[in-house]
Amino acid sequence: MGRKLYVGGTILTMAEDGFAEALLTEEGRILAVGAETQVRGLAGDGETEVVQLEGKTVMPAFIDAHSHFSACASAFLQGTVEGAESFDGLVENIRGYIREKQIPAGKWVAIRDFDPGRLKEGRVPDRRVLDLASKDHPIVLQHKSGHVGVLNSMGLQAAGIGRDTPDPAGGRIWREAGEPTGYLEENAFLSVLGLLPSPTEEELMEAYEETQRMYASYGIATVQEGLMTRQMLPLYQKLCGEKRLWLEVVGYPSAADMESFYQAFPPRDGQYENGFRLGGCKMFLDGSPQSRTAWMRTPYVGGEDCGYPVLTDGQVYETVAAAAGAGRQILAHCNGDRAAEQYLQALKRAEEEGLRPERVRPVMIHAQLLGLDQLPELKRLGVIPSFFVAHVYHWGDTHIKNFGLERAASISPAASAGKLGLPYTFHQDAPVIRPDMLETVWCAVNRRTRDGVLLGGSEQVTVLEALRAVTIRAAYQYFEEKEKGSLEPGKQADLVILDKNPLETAPSCLRKIQVLETVKAGETVYRREK
C-alpha cells in the first residue's frame, strides 16, 4: 500500500474547498490535498506512484446509506424475470430457469424482480399463471419491492396456506371466492421466504464475493446490511473469521436479534473488525407504496384502503427505547406518512422520558410519502431521512396512479428537507434496484418518471447536493464523517474515479457517467475493463 499522487484531472473533495489539483495517499490514508506544487513537494522523490488522471475526476467513494447486502448475495442465487413484459414472458423465464438449473420436481423455485407495472396485463399474476410454468415445483415469485409475492398452487400447499388460513398480523392473503389467489402481502409473504432451502456455504461465499464486486463497480466502498436476522449470525462469523469482506459492511440486526449480534460482535468504538461492524438495529413499520401496503394517513386513489402497520405503537416504542437506552442507532423503514408519524411519536415519547434518541442519529429509511408538515418534527428530533429517490423514475408513474399527481409529486421531498437543514441521504435499497449511485443522482436532479413526467419539480436538488447525499452526509449518517465522505488529510483513502466531472455534466446525462475505478483504503478494488 504505497504512496500515490493523483494529478492531471479534477479532484472533487466534497469538503468546503470543493476542488483541488492534487491528492496524495499513503497506507490507506489521505496525506495531502491541494495545489499540485505544494502536494508534489510533500510527496518528495522516491517510490511515490504518480497517477495521471488524464482529465478524469476523483471524488470520495460512494457510501451506501441503505441496502441489504445478504439479500443481494441471495439474488445471485435466484432466477429473475426482470425483462418480462407479459404473463407469457414470466412463464417462459421461469421455465427456462428450471431447465437451466435442472431443478428436480418437488424442489422450491425462487424467482425475483416481477413488477406488474411493467407487464402488459397491468396486474399481479395469480397461482394459475405460475402453474403454467410448473405444477411439479413449488414456485415463489417475489416483487421488486421485496414486500409481496405470488405462490403457485404447489407453493401454497407447501407453505400450508389454504382456505381456512387466517391473515397474519401485519400481512394479508389475497382470496377469490374464499380461495387464496397465491398473492401474499408483507408478513404473509415474508414468512414463506423462510421455507426456501439454504444454498451451500461455498455457493454463499462466492455470492458474497460477487456482491462486493457489484457494489465496487458502482463506486461504493461502504455497504449496509439493512436487516440482520439470527440465521445470518453464523454467516457473518464465517465471513469475518475467514476475512472475506474487502469492502466495509455496517450491520443492523432486528430488534428481536439485536442482543445476539452484539454479544457475538462486541462494539469496538465504531471500528470495523475484518470489514464488519454493527451500527444499531432495524425495524419495519409498513410496506411499499407501489404495492399499496405503505401505511398512509389518507386512502389510496380508488378506495378506502390506507395500507396497514407491521408493528403496534407499543412494539415500536419498545424498540426505540431499547436502542436509544443502549446508545445504538435506530433505522426504521417508513414509506407512508402514517408510519412516519408512528416512528416520530415513539421518538418523542423516548425524548420525554429522558432517553435522548437524537444522540443516536435515528434514521427514517425510504421516507417516500413523508408529509411536508412532518419535516420540522424530524428536524427537532434529529432524525435523518434517507430517501429512496430513484422511486421517482422506477415507480413514479405507479405512484401517480396510487396517489394522484399532486400527492405523488412530493415523494422523496429532498429539496424541502434540505431547506430545513436536514442531513438527508439517498439509497437504492438493493437488491430492489442495483446500487447505481449515479442513476440515483440523476433521479434526484431530474425527477423524471419512466414515462417522462416531471414529478415534483420543486423537489429537484442540485448535482452538488445530490452528491453530498451519497458521500459526506452518508458518512454522517454512520457517525463516520471524520473518516469518510470527503477528501481531506487524515481520512481514509476511499476514492472513486469517474470518466466525467458530474458538476460539469448536463443533468440529463448524469447517469451515463462511468465508474472507472474504485479504491478502498488505498487499494484498487475495481477497475473498469476497456
Question: Residue 277: which of 435, 475, 478 has the closest Cα?
Answer: 478
Contacts 24+ apart (CB under 8 A), 149-154: 149/183, 149/184, 149/189, 149/192, 150/114, 150/124, 150/125, 150/126, 150/182, 150/183, 150/184, 151/127, 151/182, 151/184, 151/192, 152/127, 152/182, 153/127, 153/128, 153/182
Q: Mean pLDDT across the stretch 255-271?
A: 94
What's the sign of the alpha-carbon dihedral 294, 257, 210, 471?
Answer: positive
Contact criterion met (CB below 8 Å) for 5 and 24: yes
At 100-157, the pLDDT tens digits run 989 999 999 999 888 888 889 988 999 999 999 999 999 999 988 788 899 999 999 9
Dist CA 488 CA 116 (whole Å): 46
Q: How confident is the model at residue 1 (pLDDT cuts 50, 70, 90)?
A: low
At 453-491, the pLDDT tens digits run 999 999 999 999 999 999 999 999 999 999 999 999 999
Q: How confident is the model at residue 17 (pLDDT cuts 50, 70, 90)?
A: confident
At 329-340, the pLDDT tens digits run 999 999 999 999
At 88-110, the pLDDT tens digits run 999 999 999 999 989 999 999 99
| Beta strands at 4-7 and 49-52: parallel, antiparallel or unpaired | parallel
Asked if pLDDT for residue 351 goes beyond 70, the answer is yes
Dist CA 49 CA 468 (whole Å): 29
- 255-270 in b/e form (b: 16+ CB < 10 A) is bebbeebbeebeeeee
- 56-77 in b/e form (b: 16+ CB < 10 A) is bbbbbbbbbbbbbbbbbbbbbb
At 219-251, the pLDDT tens digits run 999 999 999 999 899 999 999 999 999 999 999
Q: 363: which strand partners?
A: 331, 384
Higher pLDDT, 186 or 369: 369
Question: 52: which 3 cell numbers?
Answer: 495521471
**H or E element in which residue 144 lies:** none
Q: Which domains does the chain have, with CATH numbers?
A: 78-193 (3.10.310.70)
**H or E element in which residue 412 lies:** none
Q: What is the pTM for the complete model shown?
A: 0.90
